[in-house]
């Protein structure tokens, strides 16, 4: 670089969150950001402008935005921009062949009419020997409305600003798009995939400042403390339930409900666990996490605070709500007792054994699955839990939902459970499609061998392995 960046610790404190977010998203702080940040006010203005241009609600599709930025970067000779934007384009679902064919898009059959006119418009705005004429604008209007054309124009203008800035100051590629550098290398993909850290950065730029390292260790310690405490509690509860005999003792309604302190503590523990091990990144992931959080909060409110379901069900059974203490509030056990299938105490015993086991297994899947992905970083994970199922973390979250509906069913949680399961199945399919586009045959072989959620029986797994070898 023609101008060297400062040490991270020398930049103003209010820019640190931007650097932290870049490290989480890309694996390293962007060299170009460190140069812009030499003028903090200019950096903030550029960051806000880019955030508005690349926002989720833009009328220009994310993949098309990245397609345009890569092409402009090629035209301006910005190798850093090509590296970064090509990695983003692949992450947004574009096949590797399409990325490598972008320079010759006019001769390639991989680009549709909408993409072609957008790329032609970007070239006309970028190259000095071309211009935007009425004929090009008319063709552009056939695919974009006026608001979208303004957005596309702003995107092209911004990328020209960015790429010319980086080219003038000699910002080199940071190795984000490993697909273009190492096409045969398999890559990791999971909820929260990160880019490869930049090997060309100086050590003080690669590593966070001391305060951030301490904070990172503290957050990791907190994550695993919560995980081990939660898994340990449910393991203890399962073992205790199994080893004790069914009892008819029940905590009265007045003593059990109205425990809002319990609602807050248990909700906080479970929300911390879920968000720590399935950190949402995209809008779809945040929507799923929000729905899951609503499920947990509504469950614990009814479990410890205000039993809305009890108040609604009790009059239908011609029983006062106050008759439902701790034992009677296990509604599946209570229903089996009223049906004469098993006594209430034994029904509660069975319900607690099954639900505690499922919750323990579910939390273990979420935590261990995350740990495997985090250790593997930028490789396709096919060992450990991922040798059995492709999405152990989502499977774990679904098992927890099912378990709580066995242990403590409520009207809201029973209604939300199928919605949550469908949302996570769809999220898993989207991830599979994106990885198939990036990894090609490597992922296709893996997906043919390993199911998404339900482990195969040994015989079926061996048959699939033999057919693959054949």
What are the tokens at 43?
């950096």
Better pLDDT: 63 or 188: 63
Task: Please give the model's pTM, rounded to 2 decimal places.
Answer: 0.59
Domain boundary (206, 226, 249) is at 206
State whether 299 and 381 are in the same domain: yes
State whether 197 and 258 are in the same domain: no
Burial code (b: 16+ CB inside 10 Å, e: under 16) for 74-108 equals bbbebbbbbbbbbbbbbbbbbebebbeebeebeee
State whether 149 and 230 are in the same domain: no
- Examine the pLDDT at 197 and tell me if it is beyond 50: no
State whether 237 and 147 are in the same domain: no
pLDDT at 142: 95
- Examine the pLDDT at 185 and tell me if it is beyond 80: no
pLDDT, tens only, 414-445: 999 999 999 999 989 988 887 777 667 788 88
66 burial via Cβ count (<10 Å: 0-12, 13-18, 19+): buried
Domain for residue 164, yes or no?
Answer: yes
Domain for residue 68, yes or no?
Answer: yes
State whether 264 and 368 are in the same domain: yes
Length of the chain: 470
What are the tokens at 141?
């209007």
pLDDT, tens only, 300-346: 999 999 999 999 999 998 999 999 998 999 999 999 999 999 999 99
pLDDT, tens only, 118-146: 999 999 999 999 999 999 999 999 999 99
Domain for residue 2, yes or no?
Answer: no
> Mean pLDDT over all residues of the chain?
84
pLDDT at 405: 96
Better pLDDT: 23 or 155: 155
State whether 249 and 275 are in the same domain: yes
Domain boundary (187, 206, 225) is at 206
Q: In the chain, how many domains are there?
A: 2
Residue 79's contacts (CB-CB under 8 Å, 6 or more residues apart) are 172, 173
Domain boundary (206, 225, 241) is at 206
CB atoms within 10 A of CB 414: 12
206 burial via Cβ count (<10 Å: 0-12, 13-18, 19+): middle
pLDDT at 162: 96
Contacts 24+ apart (CB under 8 A), 158-162: 158/49, 158/50, 158/53, 159/68, 159/69, 159/72, 159/73, 159/81, 160/72, 160/76, 160/125, 160/126, 162/32, 162/46, 162/50, 162/78, 162/81
Is the CB of residue 407 less than 8 Å from the CB of residue 352?
yes
State whether 192 and 217 are in the same domain: no
State whether 284 and 175 are in the same domain: no
State whether 155 and 229 are in the same domain: no
pLDDT, tens only, 250-262: 789 999 999 999 9
pLDDT-based confidence at residue 457 (cuts at 50, 70, 90) = low
Q: What percent of the residues of the chain are helix, what percent strand, and what percent coil, each to the nearest 5? A: 70, 0, 30
CA gap 385, 435 in Å, rounded: 18
pLDDT at 210: 52
What are the tokens at 116?
């072609």
**At which residue do the structure tokens 């378990």 appear?**
403
Domain for residue 56, yes or no?
Answer: yes
Dmax (CA) for the chain in angstroms is 87
State whether 238 and 375 are in the same domain: yes
CB atoms within 10 A of CB 15: 18
Residue 292's contacts (CB-CB under 8 Å, 6 or more residues apart) are 274, 397, 401, 420
Domain for residue 90, yes or no?
Answer: yes
CA gap 182, 434 in Å, rounded: 18
Give the CATH number of the domain where residue 190 resides: 1.20.1290.10
pLDDT, tens only, 335-377: 999 999 999 999 999 999 999 999 999 999 998 888 888 776 5
Is the CB of residue 341 less than 8 Å from the CB of residue 350?
no
Distances (CA, A) of 162 to 123, 156, 390: 16, 10, 39
Most trustworthy range by pLDDT among 73-82, 169-178, 287-296, 432-441? 73-82
- Examine the pLDDT at 215 and tell me if it is beyond 70: no
State whether 367 and 463 are in the same domain: yes
**Could you tell me the residue range of the domain that residue 289 belongs to?**
211-469
Is the CB of residue 325 less than 8 Å from the CB of residue 252?
yes
Domain for residue 1, yes or no?
Answer: no
Domain for residue 3, yes or no?
Answer: no
Over the Cα atoms of the chain, what is R_g? Answer: 27
pLDDT-based confidence at residue 211 (cuts at 50, 70, 90) = low
Is the CB of residue 314 less than 8 Å from the CB of residue 323?
yes
CA gap 388, 252 in Å, rounded: 44
Domain for residue 397, yes or no?
Answer: yes
pLDDT-based confidence at residue 264 (cuts at 50, 70, 90) = very high
Could you give the angle at which helices 392-407 and 344-376 cross, rounded to 10 degrees? 160
- Provide the terminal-to-terminal Cα distance of the chain, rounded to the nearest Å: 52
State whether 345 and 390 are in the same domain: yes
């Amino acid at each position: 670089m023609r101008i060297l960046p400062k040490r991270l610790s020398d930049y103003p404190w209010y820019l640190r969150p931007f650097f932290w977010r870049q490290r989480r998203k890309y694996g390293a702080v962007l060299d170009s950001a460190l140069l812009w940040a030499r003028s903090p006010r200019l950096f903030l203005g550029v960051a806000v402008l880019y955030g508005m241009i690349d926002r989720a609600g833009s009328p220009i599709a994310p993949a098309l935005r990245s397609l345009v930025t890569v092409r402009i970067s090629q035209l301006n000779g910005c190798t850093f921009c090509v590296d970064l934007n090509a990695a983003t384009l692949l992450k947004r679902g574009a096949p590797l062949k399409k990325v490598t064919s972008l320079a010759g898009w006019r001769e390639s059959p991989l680009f549709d009419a909408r993409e072609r006119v957008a790329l032609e418009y970007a070239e006309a705005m970028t190259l000095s020997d071309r211009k935007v004429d009425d004929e090009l604008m008319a063709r552009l209007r056939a695919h974009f409305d006026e608001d979208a054309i303004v957005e596309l124009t702003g995107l092209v203008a911004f990328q020209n600003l960015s790429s010319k800035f980086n080219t003038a100051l000699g910002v080199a590629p940071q190795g984000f798009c490993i697909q273009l550098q190492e096409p045969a290398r398999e890559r990791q993909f999971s909820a929260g995939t990160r880019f490869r850290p930049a090997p060309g950065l100086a050590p003080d730029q690669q590593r966070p400042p001391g305060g951030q390292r301490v904070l990172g260790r503290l957050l990791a310690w907190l994550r695993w403390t919560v995980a081990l405490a939660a898994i340990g509690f449910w393991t203890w509860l399962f073992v205790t339930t199994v080893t004790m005999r069914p009892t008819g003792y029940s905590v009265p309604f007045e003593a059990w409900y109205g425990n809002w302190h319990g609602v807050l503590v248990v909700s906080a523990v479970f929300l911390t666990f879920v968000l720590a091990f399935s950190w949402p990144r995209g809008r779809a992931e945040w929507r799923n996490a929000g729905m899951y959080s609503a499920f947990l909060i509504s469950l614990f409110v009814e479990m410890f605070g205000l039993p809305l379901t009890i108040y609604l069900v009790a009059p239908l059974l011609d029983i006062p709500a106050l008759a439902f203490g701790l034992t009677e509030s296990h509604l599946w056990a209570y229903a089996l007792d009223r049906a004469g299938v098993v006594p209430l105490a034994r029904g509660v015993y069975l319900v607690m054994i099954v639900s505690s086991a499922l919750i323990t297994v579910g939390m273990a899947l979420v935590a261990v699955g995350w740990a495997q992905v985090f250790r593997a970083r930028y490789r396709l994970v096919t060992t450990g839990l991922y040798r059995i199922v492709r999405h152990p973390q989502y499977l774990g979250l679904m098992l927890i939902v099912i378990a709580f509906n066995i242990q403590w069913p409520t009207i809201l949680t029973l209604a939300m459970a199928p919605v949550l399961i469908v949302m996570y199945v769809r999220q898993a399919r989207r991830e599979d499609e994106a990885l198939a586009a990036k990894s090609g045959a490597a992922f296709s072989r893996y997906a043919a061998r390993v199911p998404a959620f339900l482990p195969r029986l040994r015989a079926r797994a061996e048959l699939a392995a033999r057919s693959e070898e054949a």
